[in-house]
Amino acid sequence: MEITAAIVKEKGGDFELVKMNLDEPKNDEVLIKIIATGTCHTDMAARDLLTGPLSFPMVLGHEGAGIVEKVGENVSNIKKGDHVVLTFGFCGGCSNCQTGIPAYCENFGALNFGGARLDGSHSHHIHGEVVQDNFFSQSSFATYALAHKNNVIKVRKDAPIEYLGPLGCGIQTGSGAVLNSLDVKAGQSIVISGGGAVGLAGVLAAKAISAGKIVVVDINEERLKFAKELGATHIINSIKENVAEKLKEIEPKGFDCGLDTTGISPVILDSINALRSHGKMGILGVAKKPLDIEMNSFVATGKQLIGIVEGDSVPNEFIPRLVNMYMNGQFPFDKLIKTYKFEDINQAIEDSEKGITIKPVILIGEYKG
């Protein structure tokens, strides 16, 4: 079938809307009419060839949401007309998938960053030439997308489908880090470093489960003020204030949990040092330098350092849970979102990279071109 997709033709290049052909779904695949897709820094990392063996041209997009158009012969849990959120790809058969940790699928790299299906085939073609696709097993910067049945998550139809795409990755990661990875309990304290979409999703999750002290550390004063509006009890501008001293002042006995979204070693160490004995530190930012930990005091206090992918989510359970929380007024993640037309995708990307917009969402379903 003919679709319109946003493609990138060169490293760091702009997105261009192009008509191309999309194959029919294979036996384990689902064809989805995309209503909206979130944008994420991971899309930009792939555009800049920082994530894997992709080449050009490529179709990105990995926070898609839409309505099922057609299903393959082996798809039984999803039917035409269902509202769905597309999440990360996982095989479902490896030992990690089988033991309930699909975010650590042994085939994660190939299924999400490989530029093709696991068997090496492509579903997108321009005049017979293949296009790098299957990004996060979806490539949802397009009017229609093909996804594997594993990463197509059915959601309730009364929820606003145009806002739900970011639940498939960025919002899922931040909220899952708090609710799943760190398992923050009511009344516990947490310090969150970084006021982007992931960090602020963590704030919303901490607020939703009635965490005690919720501290956000950032350099952007507007983001810090917004974090306070979302539920942060304390904010720290790390340019203007001494973070270590402020954390000690806020929680003299130490924090129960820390979450870093920055990947910056001194920032991470400030949070680790502010933890109580046996406190938990989650890290999910992309680091450019190694983390140097003073091992003796770290071991002596039993602190835990936890790497986090996709918020340790089991998507079929966690994404509908987040939708229910949103519909109940407990998790207003739509406050992070600004919508853009499909033809304005480059503006959305620019606004995201400049920090103007926290979570851009592209309204692809409205495109008439």
Q: Is 341 within the bounds of a domain?
A: yes
Rg of the chain in Å (alpha carbons): 20
Do 85 and 42 share a domain, yes or no? yes
Do 124 and 187 share a domain, yes or no? no
pLDDT in tens, the chain (369 residues): 999 999 999 999 999 999 999 999 999 999 999 999 999 999 999 999 988 777 899 999 999 999 999 999 999 999 999 999 999 999 999 999 999 999 999 999 999 999 999 999 999 999 989 999 999 999 999 999 999 999 999 999 999 999 999 999 999 999 999 999 999 999 999 999 999 999 999 999 999 999 999 999 999 999 999 999 999 999 999 999 999 999 999 999 999 999 999 999 999 999 999 999 999 999 998 888 899 998 898 899 999 999 999 999 999 999 999 999 999 999 999 999 999 999 999 999 999 999 999 999 999 999 988
Do 137 and 161 share a domain, yes or no? yes
Q: Is 315 within the bounds of a domain?
A: no
Do 142 and 8 share a domain, yes or no? yes
Q: Output the pLDDT for position 52.
A: 75
Q: Is 21 within the bounds of a domain?
A: yes
Q: Is 76 within the bounds of a domain?
A: yes
Q: Which amino acid is at 1?
A: M
Q: Is 224 within the bounds of a domain?
A: yes
- Across-strand partners of 33? 67, 144
Q: Is 320 within the bounds of a domain?
A: no
Q: Output the pLDDT for position 85.
A: 98
Q: Output the pLDDT for position 53.
A: 73
Do 7 and 126 share a domain, yes or no? yes
Do 128 and 266 share a domain, yes or no? no
Query: Domain residues for 122?
Result: 2-168+332-366
Do 230 and 264 share a domain, yes or no? yes
Do 157 and 191 share a domain, yes or no? no
CATH code where residue 283 lies: 3.40.50.720
Q: Is 349 within the bounds of a domain?
A: yes
Do 107 and 204 share a domain, yes or no? no
Of 292, 308, 324, which residue sits at a domain end? 308
Do 304 and 273 share a domain, yes or no? yes
Q: Output the pLDDT for position 142.
A: 98
CATH code where residue 154 lies: 3.90.180.10
Do 34 and 99 share a domain, yes or no? yes
Do 270 and 224 share a domain, yes or no? yes
Q: Is 227 within the bounds of a domain?
A: yes
Number of domains in the chain: 2
